[in-house]
Structure formats: C-alpha cells, structure tokens
Amino acid sequence: MKNELAGPPARPTEVGPRPLERSDGRTEDAGERAAVSESTRLHTLHEISLLINAAQTREEILGVVRRESKWVVPAELTFLCLLDKSRTRYTVGSLSASFDESPLNEQEFPLSEGLPGLVIRNQSPLMRRVTPGSTANDVFEEELSRPGIRALLLVPLRTGDLTIGALGFGSGHLNVYPEQDVAIAQMLASQMAIALQSMTMLDDVKRRIAQIELVNELSGTLTSTLDLSQLLHTAVETIRKTFSYFDVTLLFVDQHAGEVYLVAHAGVHADFLPAGYRQKISDGVIGWVAAHGQLLLVNDVREEPRFLAYTYRATRSELAIPIKVGQEIIGVLNVEADAVHAFDETDVTVLEILCDQLGVAIKNAQLYDELKKSNAKLTELDRMKSDFLGIVSHDFRSPLASIVLAGQALLRRSGPFDQQRVNEYLQVIVDQATRLNYLAEDTLSIAKLESGQLSYHFNIVNLDRLIRDAAALVNFTGRHTFECSVDPAVAFARGDQAKLRQVVQNLLTNAVKYSPRGGSIRVRAKAYTEDQVVVSVQDEGIGIPADQSDRLFRKFSRINTESAREIKGSGLGLWICREIVRAHGGTIWVESTEEKGSTFSFTLKKAEAEQG
C-alpha cells in the first residue's frame, strides 16, 4: 500500500562525472567504451531519468539533458528538434555549449526537410557518417561538418505512438555510433519526450483553468459595467494577460464610413497603433472579419495574403473574431502572437464566448449612454418648453389686456356719443383680436410642424402686400425706421400667403427685438436666379457671431452671447421660418457682423400676376 506520509521522493542532484573520461586525454574507441561502461552507463541513465522526472519546468528538463547527456552518449555537441503545434515544422535548439553558436540553432525547418525531419517522419533512429563537402549532404550534415563532426546520431523523441521531435548527437569520431549508444540515446530520448509531453499537458491544463476563470471573471465585470470605455479597456487587458498574447486590440465598425477604428488596445507595442487609428473595412485580416462577420484564424501570417505587412513584424499568428449584436457586426476582437500556430481550438472557443458577451455588454453600455443623452435632451427640451409657454402666454396676455381695456372704456362711456372715439376703441379691439388670431395660428403651426401635419395652400402672392401685412403686425418702436422695396420685375411669388406672412413677420419681429439701440430695418424683394426671388430683412442690431450662425435655424436654438441672452425668446421663430421656406422649395440663411447688424434672406419661386 502506498505510504501517504512518505511524501515525494528526494530530488536527485547532479549525476556525473562518470568514468567515460580518460585521464590521458586520449579519445576512447567505441568498442573499448562499450565494454567498459555499458552497465555504468545504464546506471547513470537511470539517475538522469530521476532528475528529468523531478524537473518542474521545461527549462529544467532541458537543463538536465544539457548537463548530463554526455555521461551516457558521447558527443561533442547535442541538439534538440521540436515539432510545433501544426506538426508541420520543427525548431532546432542547442543542448550543448558547442552547438550554441551553430547557425542551425533556433532555426525552423519544414518537416519535409533535413535529417531530423526524416527521423521524425520515420519514427526511427538514424546514424550517419558525415563527409565534409559532399554534394549529397543535407543542411545539417553540411553545417555540422564545419566544426569537425564526423558522425551523427539522431533518435526520435517518442511517447507511445506520438513523436514530438528528435534528439541529435554529433561526434568527432570517425566511427559511427555503435548500437549500444543508439539504444541508450533512445532510452534517454524517450524519458525526455515523456517529461516534455507531461509538461505540455500540465501547461495546457493550467492555461485552460486560467481561461475558464477569465471567462467567469470577465463576464461578471462585463455585465456589471455600464461605462463603455472602462469595459473595453478591462476586456483587452484581461485577455492579453490571461492568454499571454503579445497584442490585443478591439475595433469598432463604422459602416457609414466603411471603416474600422480602434477603441481599446493592450499589448507590448501599445504605442504602435495611435489612438483614433482607422482603416478601411476592406483592408487586412481585421477588415475581412469586419466585412464578412466570420472569424479568421491565421496560423502563420507569412502564408496569409490578407495579412497587412505593415503591422507588427513580430506577429507570427493572428486571430480575429467578429463582435455581433444580432445580425449586426459592431466590432472585431483581434489577438496577435509571436509564434506560429499560437491559437488552438479552445482559445478560439473561449474567445468566441467572450466576444458574444462583449457584444451584449457593449450594446447595454451603448443603450445606457443613449438613455443618458436622451434624458439630458428631454430635460433640456422640458426647460425650453416651459420657457416657450411663458413667452407665448405673455404674448397672448398683452393683446387680451388691450381688448379688455378698450371694451371697458366703451362700456363706461356716459357722456355724449363720440362716434370717432368709439371707432378708435373698436379698431383697437379688431386689431388686437386679429393679432391674437395670428398668434393662435402660429402656436398651432408649431404643433403641426412637429407632427408634419401643416398644410399649405399655394397661390400667387403679391410680395409688396405680403411684406406690408406682416409689418402691420410688428410693434416698431420710435427708435426704428422701416423701409420696404420690391423690384417690380419680381412682384409676385408662388406660395402660401398666411405662412409666408408668418415668415416675414418673424424676421421683422427679430430685427426689432435684436436691435435694442434702434436703427433702420429694410425689407427687399429682388430677383435671385432666373426663376427665383429673394426676400431679405436687414437690421442694424447686435449681430450674430460667425461660429453660431449655422445652428440658429434649429429648434430651440438661441445665441449664446451676453447681449443676446438679455433678450427673451423661445428659439422657435427661425426654425418655423426654415420649415416653411423649405416647404416652398426655398432656402433661408443669414449674413451678419457682430455689433453691426444682420441680414436674413430666403428664396421663393417667381410667379406671374394672374391674368384678369
């Protein structure tokens, strides 16, 4: 029975030196060596195996072989060839000081090339006498012959049926390695392969656990974070750290511009992509994913034509996954690694799950942002509407007060009947009632404009009469002079008389309102193009700053200057004007100089006077 209290076996330390070395410095010959040391070598191999088994990391395993293999397999140099994940290429690594400087060290070869490739493919050892300068030599023989290697032994690194690479020994001896050496090298290689394979599996399990923890942790953060930029940043940072990718980027798709743009970036080269980086949707791996909505796994970027060469030179593999909300592709998660075949199926699955969650989280954060914005807009609209109601009720009150006063004066009359005075009072009542009527019409048209229900009755409009009708409804003060000139060549336009009256009246009311120091107010109508007429209202008032003149015509928009703020208004008049002018197929604009005055102009279609 296993003794639970025994604990792990004591870790062996160094093995060598063994009696392979001779004090006279003479090289042993193979037969002599075999006779002398067969059992000793087996014993040494057993000790090396213990060391290999006790190693905690891949580096420790390689360190043991590097230090100890010479005691069991005589060699001037030792090297290792390891298959990559794709099992199509192998990389050479040094296991002895004499190989460290070899041009073969750290080189990568396709499995179809080189003697180690042959050994891995055939899963059987190979011994070779190396003849310098022979044309039949492959690259390994060629390179190894340079430092004086004359015999080469390669054994496969096998665990069961799986070959993960090859172990190579080079000797200056002319004699090829004897069978005993081959057998011992194979035993050593198989110990090494098992240990390396377990290490890979252990690493894999560790990585999986970390990834599952990441998904848990991140999904918690994602569903609880509504701050979009923090959310994106946390996502890329966590992914990079957990998966050890050297670069992670998140890009959003701008369908309108046909581009993708960077929104979060974590990586060794964090400065490489500038903030605000944009690229066409058709470019590169990322662009392809954004356009097609499918993930793209590039195991070796050198073999992928869609890979953009200007991205990191260190990038060897890339995985880009679309982020979707429903059917809409809203972004791309892009991860890059500096090794080929860096991503396996589990990486892809885990990152796909994350992208699904990211999609939902991004949508939530965006909705929350929109909600915040529309809330702020609603609050602002609410304030503007209250302002507007205040102004409208004030506008209604003053003609009403005049009507009441005139009526009361008529009723109170007790003296002789003065027809002229009575007529004057009655005129006040009629004028003010007409004003009220127009005011009610204007207020109503705002609601109708908003709901798109304002109806127009197009006719031929006499411009001179239109302007004078409108001016009659404006309270000019003694500080203002009013002039009107209509070019007889364009005396008529096509339009809705009542609506156009409203436009001119609004512009004139503004001209008076925004010229508190008085001045002249001129209205002109003249030809604009062959079939258009322009009506302009000019004042000598406070003017409008150039940078604000564009937004004047928007609903509730008011100028933000000290002098303008002092004057009460709703910010609706010009919006109504623009809507009415647009419905006539015309345009409205302003030219203005601060403190000098403004000219508002709008165009209408010309018309001929009706016959008869």
**Binding footprint of ligand ADP on the chain (CB under 6 A):** 510-511, 514, 539, 541-544, 552, 558-559, 564, 569-575, 598
Smallest distance, Å, CB 556 to ligand ADP?
8
- Provide the token pair at 487: 């070019």
- Provide the token pair at 84: 């990559």
Within 10 angstroms of residue 264's Cβ, the number of other Cβ atoms is 21
Helix (H, G, I), strand (E, B) or coil at 122: helix
Smallest distance, Å, CB 433 to ligand ADP?
23
Q: Are strands 519-529 and 480-486 parallel, antiparallel or unpaired?
A: parallel
- Residue 90 sits at φ, ψ, to 5 deg, of -135, 150
Q: How far apart are CA 124 and CA 502, in angstroms?
A: 99
- 368 contact partners, CB below 8 Å, separation of at least 6: 226
Smallest distance, Å, CB 497 to ligand ADP?
21
Q: How far apart are CA 170 and CA 29, in angstroms?
A: 15
Give the residue closest to ligand ADP by C-beta. 569
- Our CB check for ligand ADP shows the closer of 495 and 571 to be 571
- Our CB check for ligand ADP shows the closer of 215 and 384 to be 384
Burial of 221 (0-12, 13-18, 19+ CB in 10 A): middle
- Our CB check for ligand ADP shows the closer of 430 and 444 to be 444
DSSP 25-52: -PPPPHHHHHHHHHHHHHHHHHHHHHHH
Element housing 106 (H / E): none
- Provide the token pair at 432: 């003010």
Smallest distance, Å, CB 232 to ligand ADP?
40
For residues 324 and 73, the answer to whether their CB atoms sit within 8 Å is: no
Smallest distance, Å, CB 600 to ligand ADP?
6
- Our CB check for ligand ADP shows the closer of 480 and 558 to be 558
- Our CB check for ligand ADP shows the closer of 47 and 539 to be 539
- Our CB check for ligand ADP shows the closer of 117 and 571 to be 571
- Our CB check for ligand ADP shows the closer of 124 and 561 to be 561
H-assigned helices in 55-167: 58-68, 97-100, 114-122, 139-145
User: Which residue matches tokens 């796909």?
Assistant: 352
H-assigned helices in 123-227: 139-145, 179-224
- Provide the token pair at 255: 């369908």
- Provide the token pair at 556: 């509730």
Q: How far apart are CA 311 and CA 330, in angstroms?
A: 22
Smallest distance, Å, CB 547 to ligand ADP?
13
- Our CB check for ligand ADP shows the closer of 129 and 555 to be 555
Smallest distance, Å, CB 577 to ligand ADP?
8
Smallest distance, Å, CB 503 to ligand ADP?
11
How many helices and strands (H and E) does the chain possess?
14, 19
- Our CB check for ligand ADP shows the closer of 63 and 516 to be 516
Give the side-chain half-sphere CA count within 13 A for 393: 6
- Our CB check for ligand ADP shows the closer of 397 and 413 to be 397
Smallest distance, Å, CB 347 to ligand ADP?
59
For residues 341 and 88, the answer to whether their CB atoms sit within 8 Å is: no
Smallest distance, Å, CB 553 to ligand ADP?
8
Smallest distance, Å, CB 391 to ligand ADP?
7
- Our CB check for ligand ADP shows the closer of 332 and 576 to be 576
What are residue 155's DSSP bridge partners?
167
